[in-house]
Structure 1
């Protein structure tokens, strides 16, 4: 059976994913990237308008990986509170990897201009994550979903940064525990179909 050789585009994206995440999108030059991917310079400009477009594709790929990892941890769960905590479980899995290097979007954005592709990718992922938290807290019947989503996102951001600084996944577990406490103690507008483990049910409003 013949094994299909990855296309030049696939090899460029694979090399970009590894090098950009490990070393930084601006620290890695075009020649290094081409050498790692084993392609000619013409292949880069045939598949991408330039390095900026390749950086954008790399960040899109990282966003897809994050979403897929979260979805895998949420699979089979019906309780929206458990789905929220599964987002932290997915982050803990990533932080436990020996190649973990923090948030790819924040890392790339730190090196970029305010209106660049890196900044757009960071905003898009953060908006998506905030909407996940807001939607799930709404499904769980919490009263102030926007405030609660803000609190959860701050916890998530702190877990990303601290686990990167400490090079271990334990800070994510701490953040997950705090998130569970917040969810248990927060007011619910309705008597929801699901509730955090150990939480007392709130009576329905008259």
Structure 2
């Protein structure tokens, strides 16, 4: 998917050079840099440029990604890529969803966030579904206001207790369908090959590189 949600193919290509990664989440920045490395792109994090984190006022992943990418492009004068992603739990009607980071509290403690998810599933009773999926929306913005966007997804189930110290966020409790390791147990290359972020990146690469 790209553009304004109308399914058209991206019409603007991204030239090699500097690209701002509009995130202050070091785990995300690390993953995005790894995914961009083959394309002659020089990623710079918003944090290293001292750019502020905008308030995420959008009601969808795409809206929040666009908001972050457009602010970073405007302030830096460079093309900017933003990611908005989260965990959607079937038994919780899609929560935490766009509020996935907020469930971790002001200290961004995802151990707390994972416990909260597990607690809320438990409140639904022993028959509650443990199905969940991760969504990643990528927005690529230029300083003139042009934006392309792409959305990826990966489905799985939630395990408890969390397993593995790799990854970040909710990775340690997410077991992708067809696999025996959680994202927290997988080597980064294995996760990159199949994650929601990788799915969105495949679409971005096909369209703009």
TM-score in terms of structure 2 length = 0.27
TM-score in terms of structure 1 length = 0.27
